Amino acid sequence: MSEKKVYIIPCSGIGKVFGSISREIAYILVNDLAKDKTALECLPLIVKGKKEVIETLKENKIIAIDGCPLKCSYNDLIEAVGKVDAQFMTTDIVKENRDLKPEPSIIPIGDKTKKLSRKLAQKIALKVDDLLEEN
């Protein structure tokens, strides 16, 4: 049996910087803070209903990271997979760090946006450990 992972699913939005933060966080987690514990999957592919992807997600823990109140990642996952094990909003980390107002640039993101992303990624990395312990 393959080792359990926590799947990180960012909202994938490209209309506002808050979606970029969700993407940056996902990359920080899978490449750095929770490397070997986490994996990425494309949200559009999940919503499309790719069978093997859905099955993999059902067998592993999932964290949704959303960039706006519409919560596309969370809602799409509930619809397609039937569960989300933890959810985070990038707007929360912005509210908690008023001195780090994110730059409006969506691609590439600015330095403050990167700092905000790392801060939330650190919180989510702790949640990753919690979820893996539950397995």
Partner 1 sequence: MKKKVGIIACSGENLIGGTLSRMAARIVVEKLRPNQTIILCQPLFMAGNLEKHGGQEERDFAKNHPTITIEGCEEECAKIAVNRYSGPPSATIYIQEYIDAHPEVKTNSREELGEEGINIAEIIAEDIAKKVDKLYGTK
Interface with partner 1 (CB under 8 A): 10-15, 19, 23, 26-27, 31, 40-45, 47-48, 50, 70-73, 75-76, 78-80, 106-107
CB of 16 to partner 1, least distance (A): 9
CB of 46 to partner 1, least distance (A): 9
Alpha carbon 58 to its chain centroid, in Å, reads 16
**Under a CB-based contact definition with an 8 Å cutoff, are residues 6 and 36 in contact?**
no
CB of 87 to partner 1, least distance (A): 14
C-beta of 2 vs 134, nearer to partner 1: 2
Phi, psi dihedrals of residue 30, rounded to the nearest 5°:
-75, -25
Q: List the one residue out of 48, 29, 47, 35 whose CA is nearest residue 86.
A: 29
| Helix, strand, or coil (residue 4) | coil
CB atoms within 10 A of CB 104: 10
C-beta of 24 vs 131, nearer to partner 1: 24
CB of 31 to partner 1, least distance (A): 7
C-beta of 76 vs 94, nearer to partner 1: 76
Tokens of 20: 């970029």
Tokens of 134: 């539950």
CB of 24 to partner 1, least distance (A): 9
C-beta of 74 vs 131, nearer to partner 1: 74
**For residues 4 and 59, what is the distance between their CA atoms, to the nearest angstrom?**
8
C-beta of 18 vs 131, nearer to partner 1: 18
